[in-house]
Amino acid sequence: MKRVILLCALFACTAGIKAQETAIYKEKQPYKSWVQMAPKLDDAFFHTPEAIRIADNVLLYQQTTGGWPKNIYMPAELSPQELEDVLAAKEDVNASTIDNDATSTEIHYLSRIYLATHIEKYKEAALEGIRYILKCQYPNGGWPQFWPRPTGYYTHITYNDNAMVNVMEILRDIYEKKAPYTYVPMNICEQARAAFDKGVECILRTQVRQNGKLTVWCAQHDEHTLAPAKARAYELPSLSGQESDNIVLLLMSLPNPSPEVIASVEAAIEWFKASQITGIVRENFTNSEGKKDYRMVPCPQSATDCPPLWARFYTLEDNRPFFCDRDGVKRFDLSQIGHERRNGYKWYNSDGLKVLKRYEEWKKEIQERDTSK
């Protein structure tokens, strides 16, 4: 009898925890919670009523373009007024975007719930999302941040925040028939393969030459000239030590890379090696106004681990790391920009380390391939 009571209590406790988790999904949260949470949900979740409720929300937010707006926490329960606003925004086609993991996250979620439920409306919506990605690709192979938004920096070919790389990776999963895209018709898979290949061509064509030498990429490129382009006031034409890393990783993931791809990777790796910043580390502190802040200081002599860093932006002319505030003026010391931009943007990163590590493996793979010919 005690055992039965204990099991019942355990079941009630577990059910209570699950109910709390469901309630958390319904509450409004930062949009990043959605794009971080959605890919990590386990397969069992997609068989629950809560998963279907969220999927129906995703359908509500899908625009007539087939794409989705960004910065939306999709699981939030909507009030009648919010529902009315969401439905009215379906015609705001200029909000459709691939920025901040929008559209790709929703396609992936709907594809997973379709495989779990076989409810046709989810499959059709996911396919419309895929068609949106295919439609908004430029003839030169690049993707804009927003489409069909007609003006502004949104029309540039966008590597910023891995927008184009994310799209290309989902297209590759589609044409390779990886789960959850096993349902996608063959004609769309063929279009996805062609779009991916054009994307690779665009990457090769937009790699920046500095004094005639291939380097890396800008965070965005002009959709007509392919030259490095400006976005927001503090995002000037530059060589990007942030966005270039995942571009190189994508190129190194290609099977049987062409001589052009190999040359592109080798040049980018040379740039990463030459552009690493050593001997400094981030130091957090509280400033005189009581605000949290940080500065870059020399690594302590006692430090055993002081990994190299890369700046977000380097000058196109001479490869100098620079920083920029909302006034659009280049500065060459992080302390020279204001507190808001210094703390509201990622100016340094260590992601080049994963690029260099993968390169060593990739180089061996290329050598083994050449030896076996």
Q: Residue 10's pLDDT is what?
A: 38
Q: Give the per-residue SS3 of the chain.
A: CHHHHHHHHHHHHHHHHHHHHHHHHHCCCCHHHHHHHHHHCCHHHHHCHHHHHHHHHHHHHCCCCCCECCCCCCCCCCCHHHHHHHHHHHHCHHHCECHHHCCHHHHHHHHHHHHHHCCHHHHHHHHHHHHHHHHCCCCCCCCECECCCCCCHHHCEECHHHHHHHHHHHHHHHHCCCCCCCCCCHHHHHHHHHHHHHHHHHHHHHCCEECCEECCCCCEECCCCCCECCCCCCCCCCEECCHHHHHHHHHHCCCCCCHHHHHHHHHHHHHHHHHCECCEEEEEEECCCCCEEEEEEECCCCCCCCCCEEECEECCCCCCEEEECCCCCEECCHHHCCHHHHHCCCCEECCHHHHHHHHHHHHHHHHHHHHHC
Q: Residue 1's pLDDT is what?
A: 45
Q: Residue 24's pLDDT is what?
A: 60
Give the CATH number of domain 208-285+306-373. Answer: 1.50.10.20
Q: Residue 6's pLDDT is what?
A: 42
Domain ranges of the chain: 22-206, 208-285+306-373
Q: Name the catalytic one among 112, 209, 232, 246.
A: 232
Q: Annotated catalytic, 100?
A: yes
Q: Annotated catalytic, 232?
A: yes
- CATH topology identical between 22-206 and 208-285+306-373: yes
Q: Name the catalytic one among 53, 94, 100, 187.
A: 100
Q: Residues with Cβ < 8 Å from 348, sequence gap 6 or more? A: 277, 282, 296, 309, 310, 311, 312
Contact criterion met (CB below 8 Å) for 278 and 350:
no
CATH 1.50.10.20 at 22-206, yes or no: yes
pLDDT in tens, the chain (373 residues): 444 444 444 344 444 334 334 436 888 899 999 999 999 999 999 999 999 999 999 999 999 999 999 999 999 999 999 999 999 999 999 999 999 999 999 999 999 999 999 999 999 999 999 999 999 999 999 999 999 999 999 999 999 999 999 999 999 999 999 999 999 999 999 999 999 999 999 999 999 999 999 999 999 999 999 999 999 999 999 999 999 999 999 999 999 999 999 999 999 999 999 999 999 999 999 999 999 999 999 998 877 789 999 999 999 999 999 999 999 999 999 999 999 999 999 999 999 999 999 999 999 999 988 887 7
